[in-house]
Amino acid sequence: MLRHTLTHALESLRHRVAAGSPSLTAALRYVQLSDRARVELDKLLDATRFEVPCEQLASPFAGREGQVPTRQFVNWVEAKKAVSHCEGPRSAGGLGLKGWEDVGGLTRLEAVGLLTMALERLERTPEVGAGPLFPGLTSSRR
């Protein structure tokens, strides 16, 4: 259940940041999470930010487009287009939203890349179960 919650939160954050939220913190205000889920989300984002070089965040699937599931790649391309539209000049049909702040100095596109890489990392992480569904059936009988 936590994995589903984190996946939904990361997708929602990516959408909000790409659509023009002024910061990741501001986008997080609109995502309902329990305290435990918020702590796990922070851990996941910190681990991803530490693991992935900043240059790769602007283009997370560069050089491995064929190795990534199509859904992930399409979602990244759509988010990247949304960032371009959001930050593009009004004269070219964009929204002209340049206001973005990040404590770590990431650009809006890099923040969307961070969220995309965190989603990929979450999918690669093995899910730890709480135990067997029916413990009485799996215990040894004497």
- 54-109 residue pLDDT tens: 888 888 877 777 777 788 888 888 998 888 888 777 777 767 777 787 778 888 98
Kindly tell me if the per-residue pLDDT of 131 is higher than 80.
no
Structure tokens belonging to residue 67 = 């190795």
Name all contacts of 39-47 with Cβ < 8 Å and 24+ positions apart. 40/2, 40/6, 41/6, 41/9, 41/10, 44/6, 44/10, 44/118, 44/121, 44/122, 45/114, 45/115, 45/118, 47/121
Query: What confidence score (pLDDT) does residue 17 get?
Result: 92
